[in-house]
Amino acid sequence: KQEVTQIPAALSVPEGENLVLNCSFTDSAIYNLQWFRQDPGKGLTSLLLIQSSQREQTSGRLNASLDKSSGRSTLYIAASQPGDSATYLCAVRGSNDYKLSFGAGTTVTVRA
């Protein structure tokens, strides 16, 4: 069974600092990995999707890397802003099914 772990559980930084969020997974036989953002009481917004054959994906200030063999992904958020405050979830899809296995998330607070 795929287990997804996210470290740290919470992070508080001053505005302008770069954020580094870590995700690890136990089964390297994945099809893709996604990073989501969740605001309190709201749904999940997809940020980046990395296919298993890719090493990284970028969108604006966000960059996600994937090292499938070591079972790790890292989400970098450059020059953080208070609007980046949210919970960030990592989710992996296995190679033999369509479901996503989620980590517990990292809750980010960016202080103005």
Partner 1 sequence: EPEVTQTPSHQVTQMGQEVILRCVPISNHLYFYWYRQILGQKVEFLVSFYNNEISEKSEIFDDQFSVERPDGSNFTLKIRSTKLEDSAMYFCASSREGGYGYTFGSGTRLTVV
Decide if residue 43 touches partner 1 (CB under 8 A).
yes
CA 3 to chain centroid, in Å, comes to 14
Decide if residue 100 touches partner 1 (CB under 8 A).
yes
Sole window of 7-15, 17-25, 72-80, 102-110 interacting with partner 1 (rule: CB under 8 A):
102-110
Decide if residue 13 touches partner 1 (CB under 8 A).
no
Upstream peptide bond of 8 is cis (omega within 30 degrees of 0): yes
Q: Cβ neighbours of residue 83 under 8 Å, at least 6 residues apart?
A: 110
Q: Helix, strand or coil for residue 27? A: coil
Which positions lie near partner 1, rule CB under 8 A?
A: 4, 31-32, 34, 36, 41-46, 49, 89, 91, 93, 97-105
